[in-house]
Chains A and B, each alone.
Chain A
Amino acid sequence: EAQVTQNPRYLITVTGKKLTVTCSQNMNHEYMSWYRQDPGLGLRQIYYSMNVEVTDKGDVPEGYKVSRKEKRNFPLILESPSPNQTSLYFCASSFLSSGSYGYTFGSGTRLTVV
């Protein structure tokens, strides 16, 4: 089954303790991206990657890092999490169709930083 897999689904952590949220896709898509969703603000892009070793900042990249060492994986790294990073996170992978990119989203990771 074609899918984007995020882990973990839920995570509670403490301020300053490094964490990684994994994202993996099995569709051989070149383009992957991370978003956070907050009440009243909606979804906002954190980082995106157009291919292996090619990443770029989205609208809210502060406090996050990413890496794209292989096509299928695009982990999101919080080196020193803070409470304002408490949010619902989504990973997506994209495919080119008729000149535009179609998106497949992961199931989300609900992160709480205390």
Chain B
Amino acid sequence: KNEVEQSPQNLTAQEGEFITINCSYSVGISALHWLQQHPGGGIVSLFMLSSGKKKHGRLIATINIQEKHSSLHITASHPRDSAVYICAVSSGGGADGLTFGKGTHLIIQP
């Protein structure tokens, strides 16, 4: 069973700062997912990665398969980025579902 570790658990930063959230996993995967959950809200899929790097607006996700590590970066952070960011991995194509990290609670102060 894959173990997924995220760091930090909590992060408070000032508006405009560059944010990095890290995720490591223990067993080889078919894909890694970054999810966003706003307070009281549903879960939104931000990225699905199997290699390399993806960018969407101010969000960048990278993965290093050899090191079993991924990072989520937020450039020019804004208070609306405040949310819980969750890393999840799928194995065997993902047909058996996701294994989740416990999430990183991000607060961006104006």
The judgment on whether A and B are partners is yes
Closest to A4 in B: B42
Q: Are A45 and B42 closer than 8 Å at their CB atoms?
A: no
Q: Which of B20-28, B58-66, B71-79, B96-104 contacts A (4 or more CB under 8 A)?
A: B96-104
Q: Are A31 and B50 closer than 8 Å at their CB atoms?
A: no
Is the CB of A8 closer than 8 A to any CB of chain B?
A: no
Q: Are A101 and B42 closer than 8 Å at their CB atoms?
A: no
Q: Are B42 and A58 closer than 8 Å at their CB atoms?
A: no
In the bound complex, residues from chain B placing their C-beta under 8 Å from that of A101 are 31, 90, 93-95
Is the CB of B86 closer than 8 A to any CB of chain A?
A: yes
In the bound complex, residues from chain A placing their C-beta under 8 Å from that of B31 are 100-101
In the complex, which range does the number of interface residues on chain B fall in? 20 to 34
Is the CB of A81 closer than 8 A to any CB of chain B?
A: no
Is the CB of A14 closer than 8 A to any CB of chain B?
A: no
Interface residues of A in 79-114 (CB under 8 A from B): 90, 92, 94, 96-108
Closest to B50 in A: A100
Closest to A101 in B: B94
What per-residue 1/0 map shows which CB atoms of A26-58 lie under 8 Å from chain B? 000001010100001111110010100000101
Q: Are A31 and B95 closer than 8 Å at their CB atoms?
A: yes
Q: Are A100 and B45 closer than 8 Å at their CB atoms?
A: no
Question: A77 CA to B102 CA in the complex, in Å?
Answer: 26
Contact A102-B45, Cβ < 8 Å, known A42-B101, A42-B103, A43-B86: yes
Question: B residues touching A (Cβ–Cβ < 8 Å)?
Answer: 30-31, 33, 35, 41-45, 48, 50, 86, 88, 90, 93-103
Question: A residues touching B (Cβ–Cβ < 8 Å)?
Answer: 31, 33, 35, 40-45, 48, 50, 56, 58, 90, 92, 94, 96-108
